[in-house]
Amino acid sequence: MITADVELADLLTHLVEEARALVGARYAALGVLNESRTGLEQFITVGLGEAEEEAIGERPSGRGVLGLLITDPAPLRLGHLEEHPGRYGFPPGHPPMTSFLGVPVRVRDDVYGNLYLTDKMGATEFTDEDEALAEALALAAGIAIENTRLHDRVRVMSVLDDRDRIARDLHDRVIQRIYAVGMSLQGAARLPERDLVVERVSKAVDDLDETITQIRSAIFELGDSALPGGLRQALVHLADEMAGNLGSRPEVRFEGAVDNTVPQHVGDQVLAVVREGLTNAGKYAWATTYVVRLVVTDRLVLEVEDNGTGMELPLTQPGLGLVNIRERAEKLGGTFEVHPRDGGGTRLLWAVPL
């Protein structure tokens, strides 16, 4: 499975190894094109020993048959590589290779490189089936390369956009307010009565408090703090989405600076806990009313209450859903508790530090 936390080079090496094993090739390689698609910026090989790697020396840059695949990205099968007119020749120390299969590494119309397989073991040439398998793995490699490059571009663009946006925000919302406060305090020194001075200074302090809030908001927004539309909106949408299956719409309450304070990775966990808690209440406790309460200070406290049949406490053998909720809290350094609700039902209490 392709996952974001796997280094691209390790993943591509794995895919090349898989391709070599699946088609029965003695050697395999993957050339990654540079951004301008004029040559190879990376060349991964599989099947060569350490001594052979050292004897070959510098990696190919994309000439000969390899260059042909760059200029004409289409599958190429050869029974005798050395007889192809476009062959450039192997460097000294390179092992001999005969049969050849090359396929482009592409995603839709974008070509990111080529997958090369040589020396079909047990046969003189590669088959149609070998080509199909190689193309499938080449597509996987293309997706991995594209995903990495797009991620890098988005990250750079995000940093630049955030830098410009924060600069504008700090100027428009913060710097101008600080100038105004400074002018107000300068004028206070000329006021004739002490009460007027105190009033002016108090007003300035209030304005500075508001300015601090503006600065904190700008800093929080620079990170990955907000879900699309904010956590408030996401929870409201979740309540609307689940109303049909639950029999009634859960009531959702908020306290504190939810969208400016809760990081995205915590917000994702909150949504998962709420969904799990409401589903359990409706499915197993026959609840008809639900309340979700989210309180944010220097920690996040989430309560999910229902009027269902409740559960036997203390929990001796909690179900998988409750186990998942507890594990989500523990991974964030938090806690999870289950209590009976006054008047019947259950109260889930999930808390994590921020």
pLDDT value of position 4: 40
pLDDT value of position 242: 85
d(CA 278, CA 272) in angstroms, rounded, equals 10
Element holding 107 (H helix, E strand):
strand 100-107
d(CA 163, CA 168) in angstroms, rounded, equals 9
Q: Which residue has the tokens 């949504």?
A: 271
Domains 8-152 and 231-353 share a fold: no
Among 267, 268, 288, smallest CA distance to 278 is for: 288
For residues 181 and 204, the answer to whether their CB atoms sit within 8 Å is yes
Cα 69 vs. chain centroid, distance in angstroms?
33
Three-state DSSP at 63 gives coil
d(CA 60, CA 169) in angstroms, rounded, equals 50
d(CA 268, CA 246) in angstroms, rounded, equals 21
Sequence letter at residue 127: T
pLDDT value of position 226: 46
Give mean pLDDT in consecutive 10-residue pieces for the chain, a chain of 354 residues: 54 85 88 74 80 64 60 80 61 72 82 87 88 84 76 60 55 53 61 70 66 55 53 90 87 88 87 88 86 93 91 63 84 92 89 92
| Cis status of the peptide bond prior to 60, with omega within 30 of 0 | no
> Would you mind telling me the total number of residues written for the chain in this entry?
354
Which CATH architecture describes the domain 231-353?
2-Layer Sandwich (3.30)
Structure letter (DSSP) for residue 59? P
Burial category of 252 from C-beta neighbours within 10 Å (exposed 0-12, middle 13-18, buried 19 and up): middle
Three-state DSSP at 192 gives coil
Element holding 129 (H helix, E strand):
helix 128-169
283 phi, psi to nearest 5 deg: -85, -40
For residues 104 and 138, the answer to whether their CB atoms sit within 8 Å is yes
pLDDT value of position 15: 84
Output the CA torsion 24→29→33→39 (10° steps): -120
206-210: long-range contacts, CB 8 A cutoff, minimum separation 24: 207/177, 207/180, 207/181, 208/178, 208/181, 210/177
Among 32, 37, 45, smallest CA distance to 117 is for: 45
For residues 31 and 60, the answer to whether their CB atoms sit within 8 Å is yes
What's this model's pTM, rounded to 2 decimal places? 0.44
What is the C-alpha radius of gyration for the chain, rounded to an integer number of angstroms? 31
The correct CATH number of 8-152 out of 1.20.1250.20, 3.30.450.40, 3.30.420.40, 3.40.50.150 is 3.30.450.40
For residues 101 and 65, the answer to whether their CB atoms sit within 8 Å is no
Three-state DSSP at 95 gives coil
d(CA 49, CA 213) in angstroms, rounded, equals 61
E-assigned strand segments in 191-327: 251-255, 290-296, 299-306
CB atoms within 10 A of CB 140: 19
Among 69, 48, 47, 45, smallest CA distance to 59 is for: 45
Where along the chain do its domains lie?
A: 8-152, 158-222, 231-353
